[in-house]
Amino acid sequence: MTDPKAIQPSALDQLPDRDPEETAEWQASLDAVAREAGPHRAAYLMRRTLERAEAGGVALPKLLETDYVNTIPTSAEPGLPGDPEVEARITAWNRWNAAAMVTRGAKHGVGGHIATFASAAWLYETGFNHFFKGKEADGSGDQLYIQGHASPGIYARAFLDGRLDEAHLDNFRQEAGGNGLPSYPHPRRLPWLWEFPTVSMGLGPLSAIYQARFNRYLTNRSIKDVSASHVWAFLGDGEMDEPESTAALALAAREELDNLTFVINCNLQRLDGPVRANFKIVQELEAQFRGAGWNVIKTLWGTAWDELFQLDTTGALVRRLREVPDAQIQTYQTRGAAYIREDFFGKDPALAEMAKLLSDDKILECFHLSRGGHEARKVYAAYRAAVEHKGAPTVILAQTVKGHTLGEGFASKNANHQMKKLSVDEFKTMRDLLELPIKDSDFADGVVPYGHPGADSPEVRYLQERRAALGGPAPARRTHALAPLPAPAEKAFASFDKGSGSQNVATTMAFVRLVKDLVRDKETGRRWVPIVPDEARTFGMESLFPSLGIYSPKGQTYEPVDRDQLMYYKEAENGQILNEGITEAGSMADFIAASTAYATHGEAMIPFYIFYSMFGWQRTADQMWQLGDQLGRGFLVGATAGRTTLTGEGLQHADGHSPVIAATNPAALTYDPAFAYEIAVIVREGLRRMYGEAKPGEDQNVFYYLTVYNEPMPQPAKPAGLGVDEAIVKGLYRFNTAESAGVTAPANAPRIQLLGSGTAIHWALQAQRLLAEEWGVAADVWSATSWSELRRDALEADAALLRGEERVPYVRQALHGAEGPVLAVSDYMRQVPDQIAQWVEQDWSSLGADGFGLSDTREAARRHFGVDAQSIVVAALAQLAARGEVKAASVKEAREKYGL
């Protein structure tokens, strides 16, 4: 034992010992056990004592790691209901067809993954047979986040169920001709089957947590009672390396999300080799989840190990299992009994004696085949314990063998993730192992056949009966025939038409004011879901706190420090605002759950997520793709937008590129509005398109990205005339001409068209005045509300021309007949306006804030990037000089005059 004098002081040393004599007796007892029975026995007693204390509610730090054995002992397992033999045959057919599908696809070079489902088959089958509720069950059924590489097994089950046929399976990863199956779970490609895209590693677990949380939000706000729904997330142990996989574990525990279960398939392998070659991933994950407050269930060993554990009277077997690293466990999987006897059992005399009682067949059965994740009884016990546990989410750590039943060439081999096919001989060996009635003659021309017991077979009837009892097929995505949401009162939008007069208003404030009016709407106000990552005060949203409340499942258990103020910090169980703390990833996961509630729960919700534009797309663009994949709808709002508007913050806060990233997403409709009335028009159109009456052929499964600025500026009245709203939505309209702006330019003056977006239009308007008054040039100013929508329309026009249809891009129509060259400017890199250059008939030039940001005043930053009014003037003169419409000397004179 360690010398007590060498023990380091702890927190307990700060507390008075009320009974030093009793303390000494406990310590002496521990010393005696260690001395007489050994340190292992002392450690065992201490662990059991800590477990007893935890179970009894004694306030002690939790035991973070338990022995490398099953959490639920065999004696405590509930009996497996149903017909285990039929379930085994169903699983065998699914294993076969999953492998056959990928192997047949390999002939076309499309690849696929075999080994993942082979290891996880029972994890899915047990759930489908006994736990996973379908859409006809209470609430909205369960939400299933399927591990991406296991998709062939899910397709195989849908084939057995009659939802897919052989033609579908033969089109695995071949979607271009229609009737194909996407590689991975993908709602946009197979929207009747898949609900959640999960193959972008780490996003599945993060989204699952926020989906479970959003389910509680819907219930607590009385939108829909989905308390019976359970979220299941199937993950790989290698996937847990992704930071997003574990980023929100504390949230799930803090909010006691017992409607959530993670099932981590611990086959100990990632793509290139062992997950933790020299360590133990199961133990690491157990400590991580327990430390975060989760209920942890380990399902590691199958029933073949029961005999070994009964023989382990000294604890030597348990100690050895804890110390063997994962890579060595994998090696045992591929070696013979003699090697295992020497390397595993031979390290300890007690184990060597135990091994003498075991036959070679018994050793191979245990080390090659018997894993907890491969036995329905073990998995059922874990799942039942998970759904019955209250007060915390559960993670099940299920140990499996990657490539199980695929033969010695696959099982636990480092390369099996990249192995795409089995040979005919390997299939025949697999057939014999699974006892499937497939004849050698069925392998026509060396092509592996699909297998099906028949639509009226006991297996198919059983499968369908179990699914009917659980609420219908799963996985499944429902497109509910929802009535369009009524349009909010026009007053909310029309109030922006008259402008702000002499008052300076930032477009961020204009957007927040609009939302404040919309959430008061009697018909749709309760369906808004405001989401903000701990920056509500930055965006002027604190006025929403007392009226809407910040969602908290605990309500408000304290008196807020600002309770005596009008805009106090109010939390409520039925609060409407989701204030996520400093996590853009968590906020995006919130947004995805809310934006797809129309399908997941049959409830149309209107999320808007407002964030620093620099930190939204840049940090979480992968989730924006996930949002598009999942057919989400709502408003993303990049606030404090632009490279030069956020004074003082500097490079890391200066967004010059979010519209570029957004433009790469086919589902994103990106707008850079300059004025408050433009925001109102765009939001009204977004509500109509996503939630109202769709036009023929219009895709409602889009989301809007609006950039708004923190620079207070006068907000003008909306120009009069027909078609302005439509032009704003399409992306471009003439805000004014030199004549309507009242600037003085000579008759027959050279003319130029200035296109500006967002805050840049104010520099264009200043340049318009300077050009007229100081250089005799007439400029018309256009508001480019969406460069990317102009480009999208132009690309569609090009595609139409290839089909033989005559169609002129809108940008060309809008600028038709406009005199002079075009100069475009924005607060973003030039690549943003340059998106439309090739479709503009006039001479084209652009200005933008390319490069890294910097800290300074707005004026200095704009001069630095060459986008201020004076820089626009010089660029305009240069364009006109190149055309011979102004003197070349004017360009040099202007540069010198403005200090450029």
Q: What is the three-state SS of 258-286?
A: CCEEEEEEECCECCCCECCCCCCHHHHHH
Query: Closest by alpha carbon to 429, among 99, 158, 172?
Result: 99
Query: What average pLDDT does range 552-579 have in this prediction?
Result: 94
- Residue 798: CB partners within 8 Å, gap ≥ 6? 809
Q: What span, in angstroms and rounded, lies between the C-alpha atoms of 373 and 247?
A: 26
> Is the model's pLDDT at 420 over the cut of 70?
no
Of the listed ranges 291-300, 401-410, 807-816, the one predicted with least confidence: 401-410
Q: How confident is the model at residue 12 (pLDDT cuts 50, 70, 90)?
A: very low
pLDDT digits (tens, 9 = 90+) for 631-678: 999 999 999 999 998 877 878 888 999 999 999 999 999 999 999 999
Phi and psi, residue 659, nearest 5°: -65, -25
Q: How confident is the model at residue 419 (pLDDT cuts 50, 70, 90)?
A: low
| Adjacency order of strands within the sheet including 578-579 | 578-579, 528-532, 606-612, 635-639, 703-707, 668-671
Q: What span, in angstroms and rounded, lies between the C-alpha atoms of 506 and 637?
A: 14
pLDDT digits (tens, 9 = 90+) for 348-358: 999 999 999 99
> Is the model's pLDDT at 7 over the cut of 80?
no
pLDDT more than 90, % of the chain: 80
In the chain, what is the straight-line distance between the N-terminal and C-terminal CA atoms, in Å? 78
| pLDDT score recorded for residue 37 | 87
Report the predicted TM-score, pTM, of the whole model to 2 decimal places: 0.94
Residue with tokens 């999953």: 98
For residue 574, count CB atoms less than 10 angstroms from its CB and return exposed for 0-12, middle for 13-18, buried for 19 or more: middle
| pLDDT score recorded for residue 2 | 41
Q: 751-756 and 231-236 as β-strands: parallel, antiparallel, unpaired?
A: unpaired
Average pLDDT, the chain: 93
pLDDT digits (tens, 9 = 90+) for 178-211: 889 999 999 999 999 999 999 988 999 999 999 9
Q: 778-783 and 733-736 as β-strands: parallel, antiparallel, unpaired?
A: antiparallel
> Is the model's pLDDT at 142 over the cut of 60?
yes
| pLDDT score recorded for residue 4 | 41
| pLDDT score recorded for residue 409 | 66
> Is the model's pLDDT at 8 over the cut of 80?
no
| pLDDT score recorded for residue 376 | 97
Q: How confident is the model at residue 686 (pLDDT cuts 50, 70, 90)?
A: very high
Q: What span, in angstroms and rounded, lies between the C-alpha atoms of 866 and 24?
A: 77
Phi and psi, residue 801, nearest 5°: -60, -40
> Is the model's pLDDT at 47 over the cut of 70?
yes
In Å, how far are 161, 351, 430, 473 from 453, measured between CA atoms?
11, 46, 17, 19
Q: Do residues 833 and 848 lie in contact, with contact meaning Cβ atoms separated by under 8 Å?
A: yes
Please give the distance of CA 871 from its chain centroid, rounded to a whole number: 42
DSSP element (H, E) containing 793: helix 787-802
Q: Do residues 681 and 725 lie in contact, with contact meaning Cβ atoms separated by under 8 Å?
A: yes
